[in-house]
C-alpha cells in the first residue's frame, strides 16, 4: 500500500483545498481560489509534517535552483493527476496557469517555481458528487 493510500493523503489534500478562502471576498462568484502544488505542499507540510517526512525522496519543497528533482510539489501534482477522476468527483478541479509573459513565480521562503506553466487546484463544491 502506498503512502498516498495508507495516510489518506487524498482526504488531507481535499481538506486543505476546502479550507482555502478568497480573503477579501470569501463569497465571490468565481468560487474558491486555486492553489499551486507549491502552496499545497507548504500547507501539507505545516499540517502533516510527520507524514511528509515519510515520503523520503520527495519531502522537500524544491523549486528552481534547489537541486531537488523529486520535490513534494511534483509528487502532489502527479498524485492528484493520477487520481484525478476520483478526486474530481469529490470536488477537486485542476487547471494550468499559462507561463506566457510570466517571468517568475516566487513563494514564501524565496521558493521559485521551476516550471512556467504551473498546475493549480481548488475545491469546487459544484463538482462534488458526495454532497
Dihedral (CA of 99, 17, 88, 59) sign: positive
Rounded to the nearest angstrom, the gap between the alpha carbon of residue 31 and the centroid of all alpha carbons in its chain is 17
CA dist list (Å): 101 to 54, 66, 120: 37, 23, 18
The domain segmentation of the chain, as residue ranges, is 3-20+33-123
Kindly state the cell numbers that stand for 113.
517555481
Q: Is the pLDDT of residue 87 over 90?
A: yes
pLDDT reported for residue 69: 58
pLDDT at residue 115 in the model: 67
Please check the confidence at residue 62 and state whether its pLDDT lies above 70: no
Amino acid at each position: 500500500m502506498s503512502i498516498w493510500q495508507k495516510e489518506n493523503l487524498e482526504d488531507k489534500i481535499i481538506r486543505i483545498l476546502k479550507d482555502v478562502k478568497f480573503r477579501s471576498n470569501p463569497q465571490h462568484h468565481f468560487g474558491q481560489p486555486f492553489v499551486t502544488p507549491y502552496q499545497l505542499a507548504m500547507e501539507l507540510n505545516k499540517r502533516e509534517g510527520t507524514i511528509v517526512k515519510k515520503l523520503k525522496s520527495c519531502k522537500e519543497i524544491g523549486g528552481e535552483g534547489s537541486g531537488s528533482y523529486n520535490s513534494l510539489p511534483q509528487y502532489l501534482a502527479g498524485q492528484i493527476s493520477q487520481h484525478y477522476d476520483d478526486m474530481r468527483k469529490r470536488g477537486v478541479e485542476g487547471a494550468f496557469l499559462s507561463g506566457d509573459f510570466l517571468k517568475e513565480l516566487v513563494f514564501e521562503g524565496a521558493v521559485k517555481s521551476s516550471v512556467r506553466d504551473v498546475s493549480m487546484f481548488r475545491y469546487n463544491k459544484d463538482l462534488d458528487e458526495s454532497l
